Amino acid sequence: MSGNHDKSFVITFLGVLGILVGFTFTIIIIARILTSGDASVDQAALNKAIQARIAPIGTVITDPAALLKVSAAAPHAPMSGEQIVATVCSACHGTGVLGAPKIGDKDAWGGRLKADGGVDGLLASASKGKGSMPPRGGNPDLSNDELKAAIQQMLKQTGV
Ligand code: HEC
């Protein structure tokens, strides 16, 4: 009696197991059929597209030679004496702050012009700085020509 019972259990168990194994293989086969189309995808093109999509937004330049090239490629357009005085020099020379010779003060400018022996003398001291006057008015990008034009502009506005 009990032997019969065990036998029918084993048969049912193996039957269920068989169905499950068969089901598993069926799923595997269906999955392979469904995904077999992927073989046609160009893997190189796919990688390229992914690289482009995840590429960083900016580029950091660490090569000193390349950096020099970048900064040399963008020289500033030469400014007129008038522009330089308005944007740089007048910060101090407009009001005479820190003891700067004030634009319009004939005595102050006339005296310095004489003491330095002319515009070139003023240029020399303006380019290297003097007392509270920073070298090149604090703008190292200014060329000698620009600095000289600015001095001449201030002398002209002063009337000396
Ligand atoms: C931060 C303030 C400041 C700025 C900006 C400035 N100056 Fe001056 N400058 C001075 C002061 C202060 C003196 C007087 C220095 C002294 O005699 O001790 C002076 C003096 C001078 C002199 C006379 C130098 C001499 O030998 O007596 C010249 C020329 C001059 N500045 C030109 C310029 C020009 C050109 C600019 C703009 C490109 C400029 N400065 C911008 C403060 C300034």
Tokens of 5: 């019972």
- Choosing from 80, 114, 133 the residue with most ligand 1 atoms within 8 A of its CB, the one to mutate for a pocket test is 133
Rounded Cα distance between 133 and 98, Å, is 8
Q: Atom of ligand 1 at shortest distance to CA of 138?
A: 5
Q: What is the rounded average pLDDT for all residues in the chain?
A: 89
Tokens of 72: 């040399």
Q: Is the CB of 103 under 6 A from ligand 1?
A: no
Alpha carbon of 132 to ligand 1 centroid (Å): 8
Query: In this predicted model, which residue has the larger pLDDT, 35 or 140?
Result: 140
What's the pLDDT tens digit per position in 53-107?
888 788 787 887 777 766 554 567 889 999 999 999 999 999 999 999 999 999 9
CB 117, CB 125: distance < 8 Å: no
